[in-house]
Structure 1
């Protein structure tokens, strides 16, 4: 079966789809992943057919406009809507349609707004996939896109309705494309539930663990959440200088990933001082955070990136931004953590890790200081409960085979749509 996977965003949005596509490909399906050009090598390395979406989200996140948007600057978001975002979305809609005309089924990230419409136009099965449980309403927890948690079940369930509001600004663009390109009559609107197609729930695929996030029994039958989707990376060869740094014992690992720091050099100075004061050592993964300096220090080793599945198991603890993939990798490695949430679902993961006892209280960028870092480092070192809880979580996670069970769920749903004759 020809299955197209549609996703856009940072590596945290793309890698789970690579993992799922790889599993489906092993089962004999022809998989095409449609995403930003920055991920062409990753897709082809994992033997998936690649189709580019010209909406260059990776470049946008590194521009000044994109950095302001990632920081939640509402004025910047509104001002860039027509000049930057709309043209990107128009390209995305054209590209996913060109790539999907002959697909037998599609699996799409909610950020790819046209996935719903393509499935409707082609009369093919569709699945919504996400590494964060943001789609199916539940009374058990608040919508993870919100930066706070509520204790009221009814309000929790209602909070998921705001997903429609997040796409409302694009309805005019989507409806124009629906009419002119897909020849679809009905219009999308804030009053139409886009998790329902032809009167039935679109099956939802969550790439996260029921050991960490409670599975709502009301989801049964239309939601799959059976474990994190981990990518089996090829063997990675560390440089000799990294191996020498590790000889002195397990360090902390610090990563802000693609989150743009307001004052990267100042944060670097604070980290260097904090690790010096505590007598601890750290590997700092600079990623796209804006940190450019390379430190020659006995306390901090800097690197652009190191595979998480290689470095986290060798770490004492992890300080990170709270992305779903980084959080999952730290959990799998059984490491205590401090989360420094910036935006999106990161505050949700920070709260959840605190709730299950594997993390100290979150540390936001505005609260960062040498004193704050020293306090958090010492807390992770001295409070052995964090390590114990992290080991317990890891023992549950490693028993799950989330991507295999998710692929089973997909094939069961496809069989229901197209029973073998």
Structure 2
């Protein structure tokens, strides 16, 4: 079977698709990964075929206007307004390139932004991936909707409204592309049919976010898609630093470092020192270390996180997955997008102190959060317990099973 995987965004949007592609290739399938050229080396290093989606997705946080917007508010809408927006023709052309990237495939799987290529009608079985729940349910509200005490009917309505908002954003380019191809416009929102007519895959752990009982049959919570890298060697000196005393903490802010800045590092360093611990800093601005701070640009999280006392992070999807798998406590400092959503879930399960939103971060709040996760053995016990369950998931294998079952329909 030939499979086209399409994703667009930061490294955290691409890495899971690469892990899935490796899994599909291991089952004997031909796999291509379509994304921006920024991630061509990652795709090809994994032995997968690269196909390009136009645009630069790696540097969301390079624009001063975007950094300024996020520092004011975690609102994705505010951030989107600060970004340089493509014209309608450019968006339509991108969707057309996405469809072209799927030519010859038996199945297409997309993330959020390439989902429009599926809505436009790729002419083959297709499904999609969401990093947070978008399937309608009465059990919990849609992502980033008001918490109002109006009962299950309101809860379900939030998903309907959220789906309409996504379709309002996708519809103009989708129907412009269909018009180019001589097809009738899609009038009714297709978002609600995901999980019914097409599979939707949620690549997070059911131990962390169980699927609601009222979800349709084709909405799948698979477990995280992880690429195991046992061949990765840690940076020189890091293992010795870890072993030199009590377990250190880690500060890992990923691609959002330009938003957080060196000021955040200083606040976190002081909070960790106040707790009598040492700190490992992954990424961020170049800076000197000290006897109690080890700075490194890159390291395998799968190797590092299980060896530390806690991880301080922005609660992005990918880093959250790595900390959950490690089975260690979290200190969350969310700054935008889905960070606040996952930070709230982490706290709800008792795996962290209350979140410290970046826009409201103070030295005192960070000290309290660090002291809580270091001083409360219950946090570590709960983190270790859920870590065992998350590691037991067969995320990539489950996703491969789903894709194979749908791809067989075209063979």
> TM-score scaled to structure 1, two decimals?
0.88
Is residue 2–residue 30 contact of structure 1 (8 Å, CA) maintained in 2? yes
83, 100, 103: which one aligns with 1:101: 103
Residues 97 and 132 of structure 1: CA distance in aligned 2, closer, same or farther (over 3 Å): same
Superposition pairs of residues 300-339 of structure 1, within 5 angstroms? 300-339=293-332
Equivalenced residue count is 406
Tell me the equivalent position of 1:413. Answer: 406
Tell me the equivalent position of 1:37. Answer: 37
CA drift of 1:339 comes to 1.1
Matched, 1:379 2:372: yes
Residues 219 and 169 of structure 1: CA distance in aligned 2, closer, same or farther (over 3 Å): closer
> TM-score scaled to structure 2, two decimals?
0.90
SS of 1:312's equivalent in the other structure is helix
61, 71, 75: which one aligns with 1:72: 75
Measure, in 2, the Cα distance between the counterparts of 1:337 and 1:184.
50
SS of 1:168's equivalent in the other structure is helix
Tell me the equivalent position of 1:211. Answer: 207
Provide structure 1 residue ranges, at least 5 long, that are not aligned to the other structure.
none
Residues 263 and 48 of structure 1: CA distance in aligned 2, closer, same or farther (over 3 Å): closer
Tell me the equivalent position of 2:238. Answer: 242
Measure, in 2, the Cα distance between the counterparts of 1:373 and 1:194.
40
Is residue 2–residue 106 contact of structure 2 (8 Å, CA) maintained in 1? yes
Is residue 131–residue 317 contact of structure 2 (8 Å, CA) maintained in 1? yes
391, 397, 418: which one aligns with 2:390: 397
227, 230, 249: which one aligns with 1:231: 227
Over the aligned positions, Cα root-mean-square deviation in angstroms equals 2.5
Measure, in 2, the Cα distance between the counterparts of 1:14 and 1:279.
37
Query: Which deviates more from structure 2 when the two are superposed, residues 325-334 or residues 108-117?
Result: 108-117
CA drift of 1:115 comes to 2.6
Measure, in 2, the Cα distance between the counterparts of 1:88 and 1:252.
44
Measure, in 2, the Cα distance between the counterparts of 1:149 and 1:297.
48
Residues 262 and 59 of structure 1: CA distance in aligned 2, closer, same or farther (over 3 Å): closer
Residues 263 and 395 of structure 1: CA distance in aligned 2, closer, same or farther (over 3 Å): closer
Measure, in 2, the Cα distance between the counterparts of 1:91 and 1:112.
12
SS of 2:341's equivalent in the other structure is helix
Measure, in 1, the Cα distance between the counterparts of 2:169 and 2:388.
43
Query: Which deviates more from structure 2 when the two are superposed, residues 44-53 or residues 298-307?
Result: 298-307
Is residue 142–residue 150 contact of structure 1 (8 Å, CA) maintained in 2? no
CA drift of 1:163 comes to 3.2
Superposition pairs of residues 154-233 of structure 1, within 5 angstroms? 154-161=153-160, 162-180=162-180, 182-188=181-187, 191-196=188-193, 201-233=197-229
SS of 1:302's equivalent in the other structure is strand
Can you list the C-alpha shifts for 1:140-193, whole angstroms capped at 9, x where unaligned?
Answer: 22223448687833333222221331352443233222211x3321235xx423
Query: Which deviates more from structure 2 when the two are superposed, residues 258-267 or residues 399-408?
Result: 258-267
CA drift of 1:30 comes to 1.0
Tell me the equivalent position of 2:345. Answer: 352
Tell me the equivalent position of 1:54. Answer: 54
249, 253, 269: which one aligns with 1:252: 249
CA drift of 1:353 comes to 1.1
Matched, 1:294 2:287: yes
Matched, 1:153 2:152: yes
Is residue 6–residue 115 contact of structure 1 (8 Å, CA) maintained in 2? no
Following TM superposition, the consecutive aligned residue runs of length 4 or more in structure 1 with deviations greater than 6 angstroms are none
Measure, in 2, the Cα distance between the counterparts of 1:132 and 1:151.
23
